[in-house]
């Protein structure tokens, strides 16, 4: 049996999820940011989904999972607060966990957060309840 060995640093360097662009005061994309986890925010805010659709992607870092959720509904700060409270109440994120809620270029929702493994089903249920206009969430369960 042969194994390939990768250093954790090499794995992190190869991951596009870890690039964090500097915030610009002159950005044309308004965004509400709340201690967001590492992600390429500029690229994510340029990405969008159709109204009523969603895209949920996750990256498994073995000890934690980073979720990036695009939601084809108009940005509302109340959705940000309510979603964070529900994720916290379900013990999916902690009060100090990385959580970010942003407005995309087309003024839709983009939510990103970090959690432990094994929460995909609960995450989908919370997002289904918070965004009933969306045709079901399919966040991966690592």
Question: What are the tens digits of pLDDT across the range 50-61?
Answer: 999 999 999 999
Confidence (pLDDT) at 46: 87
User: Between 25 and 49, where is the model more confident?
Assistant: 49
By residue count, the chain amounts to 142
User: Across the strands, what pairs with 67?
Assistant: 58, 113
Residues whose CB falls within 8 Å of the CB of residue 137, separated by 6 or more in sequence, listed in order: 54, 56, 69, 123, 124, 127, 128, 131
Domains and CATH numbers, the chain: 40-142 (3.30.70.260)
- pLDDT per position as a tens digit, 73-114: 999 999 999 999 999 999 999 877 789 999 999 999 999 999
């Amino acid at each position: 049996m042969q194994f390939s060995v990768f250093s954790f640093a090499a794995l992190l360097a190869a991951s596009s999820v870890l690039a964090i662009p500097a915030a610009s005061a002159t950005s044309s994309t308004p965004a509400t940011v709340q201690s967001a986890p590492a992600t390429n925010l500029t690229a994510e805010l340029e990405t969008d989904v159709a109204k009523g659709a969603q895209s949920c992607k996750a990256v498994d870092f073995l000890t934690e999972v980073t979720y990036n959720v695009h939601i084809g509904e108009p940005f509302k700060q109340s959705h940000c607060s309510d979603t964070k409270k529900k994720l916290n109440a379900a013990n999916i994120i902690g009060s100090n966990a990385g959580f970010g809620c942003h407005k995309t270029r087309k003024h839709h929702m983009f939510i990103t957060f970090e959690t432990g493994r094994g929460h995909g089903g609960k995450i989908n249920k919370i997002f289904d309840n918070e965004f009933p206009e969306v045709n079901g969430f399919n966040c991966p369960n690592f």
